């Protein structure tokens, strides 16, 4: 009897151990960095990504559909227990319910062991020896924003545009995605390129990600980077770079944003460089608008008309999905980030500027 109970509880035990380990890990970021992120995770990512990279489709996407169907079917299976004979109703109901809980416990454990511990590693600023603790002045933020706008203006003159005068790629999106692994292999520091080369994959179902205003997502269960294939071109390449940074073990969104810019800016392709710089420009404009609302107009109109058209087209696309579904999705993901030690949730994306400003100071 005890053995049967223990066998049924193994999923709960693994989840409890994973939860305890996860909470303890945040107290020992250096150990997580050296033992887990740079060794254990690196081996896991290289091994699994090497396999899934050979699949012409996103395994994560199809597993998601399977999981949704499975959960719906299992809930029906649980409820059906209530229609059994009286003596068996409660026993069957709770057995089936316990089985579903066990499945969720196993998924949670896999998340922690395969990926979640990366949230507890040392900050990227430590690895790059950047001082983000001293902060910055409004004038320093303005100077960085102006530099980003000037670089983006210059790059915009080198890239093609469509019939509406909006930035577009000269090659297919699939070619853009295929190039990301090569750019990382060539330009990424060793600590930011720990996985075996892998393909960034597009999600096949149209607008599946757009309805939740999601540009990309990393699957820690299949070690796959997935991007929204319907999103505008402006942020497409840099989003792929962002997700690829997650594959390399950088869980925090601000660090993935920063690495996407830091690595893709050195690409030989001006279209990819433009996408990288426009992410940084958008973030800098947003931060500067909050820091100096009066001076924001002067900064904004430093952008060429071409940049303004690209930003307007990008905004117009995402405004179509400004629904309750998208807002709920934002809240859920923000709470997810907060649970994983990111106190400012979705706002953390913009903290890439802290790293950029620190990098700028270090190079002076």
Q: Which helix (H) or strand (E) covers residue 329, if one does?
A: helix 324-339
Q: What is the mean pLDDT of residues 213-223?
A: 95
Report whether 36 contacts 128 (CB < 8 A). no
pLDDT band at 183 (very low <50, low <70, confident <90, very high): very high
pLDDT at 2 over 50: no
SS3 string of 16-49? HHHHHHHHHHCCCHHHHHHHHHHHHHHHHHHHHH
Q: What is the pLDDT of residues 289-303, one digit of tens each?
A: 998 998 898 899 999
Tell me how far the alpha carbon of residue 183 is from its chain's centroid.
18
Q: Provide the pLDDT confidence category of residue 348 given band limits of 50, 70 and 90.
A: low
Burial 158-190 (b: 16+ CB within 10 A, else e): ebeeeeeebbebeeebeebbebbbebbeebbee
If you count them, how many residues does the chain have? 364
| DSSP, res 35 | I
Per-residue model confidence (pLDDT) at position 73: 94
Binning pLDDT at 50, 70 and 90, where does residue 1 land? very low
Least-confidence region, from 118-127, 134-143, 279-288: 134-143
Q: What is the mean pLDDT of residues 337-354?
A: 71
Residue 117 has pLDDT above 90, yes or no: yes
Predicted confidence at residue 159, as pLDDT, reads 98
Given a contact cutoff of 8 angstroms between Cβ atoms, the answer to whether 224 and 195 are in contact is no
DSSP string of 273-300, one letter each residue: HHHHHHHHHHHHHHHHHHH-HHHHHHHH
Judged against a pLDDT cut of 90, whether residue 335 lies above it is answered with no
**Vertex 189: Cα angle to 284 and 155 (nearest 5):** 40
Q: How far apart are CA 62 and CA 138, in angstroms?
A: 47
- Residue 162 has φ and ψ, to the nearest 5°, of -90, -170
Burial (CB count <10 Å: 0-12, 13-18, 19+), residue 147: middle
Q: Can you give the residue ranges of every domain in the chain?
A: 2-120, 130-362
pTM given for the model: 0.92
């Amino acid at each position: 009897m005890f053995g049967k109970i223990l066998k049924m509880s193994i999923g709960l035990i693994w989840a409890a151990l994973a939860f305890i380990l996860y909470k303890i890990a945040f107290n020992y970021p250096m150990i997580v960095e050296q033992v887990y992120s740079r060794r254990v995770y690196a081996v896991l990512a290289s091994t699994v990504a090497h396999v899934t990279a050979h699949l012409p489709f996103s395994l994560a996407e199809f597993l998601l559909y399977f999981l949704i169907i499975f959960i719906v079917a299992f809930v029906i299976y649980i409820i059906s227990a209530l229609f059994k004979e009286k003596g068996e109703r409660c026993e069957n109901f709770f057995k089936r319910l316990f089985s579903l809980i066990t499945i969720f416990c196993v998924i949670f454990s896999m998340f922690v062991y395969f990926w979640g511990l990366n949230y507890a590693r040392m900050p990227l600023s430590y690895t790059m020896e950047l001082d983000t603790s001293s902060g910055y002045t409004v004038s320093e933020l303005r100077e960085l924003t102006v530099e980003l706008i000037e670089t983006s203006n210059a790059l915009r003159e080198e890239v093609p545009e469509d019939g509406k005068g909006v930035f577009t790629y000269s090659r297919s999106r699939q070619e853009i995605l295929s190039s990301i692994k090569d750019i990382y292999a060539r330009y990424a520091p060793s600590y930011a390129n720990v996985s075996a080369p892998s393909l960034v994959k597009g999600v096949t179902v149209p607008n599946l990600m757009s309805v939740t205003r999601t540009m990309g997502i990393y699957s820690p269960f299949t070690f796959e980077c997935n991007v929204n294939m319907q999103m505008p071109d402006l942020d497409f390449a840099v989003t792929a770079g962002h997700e690829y940074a997650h594959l390399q073990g950088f869980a925090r969104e601000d660090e993935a944003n920063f690495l996407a810019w830091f690595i893709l800016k050195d690409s030989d392709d001006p279209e990819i460089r433009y996408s990288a710089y426009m992410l940084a420009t958008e973030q800098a404009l947003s931060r500067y608008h909050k820091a100096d609302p009066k001076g924001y107009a002067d900064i904004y109109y430093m952008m060429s008309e071409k940049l303004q058209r690209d930003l307007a087209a990008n905004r117009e696309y995402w405004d179509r999905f400004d629904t309750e579904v998208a807002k709920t999705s934002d809240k859920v993901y923000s709470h997810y980030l907060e649970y994983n030690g990111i106190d400012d949730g979705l706002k953390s994306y913009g903290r890439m500027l802290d790293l950029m400003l620190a990098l700028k100071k270090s190079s002076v």
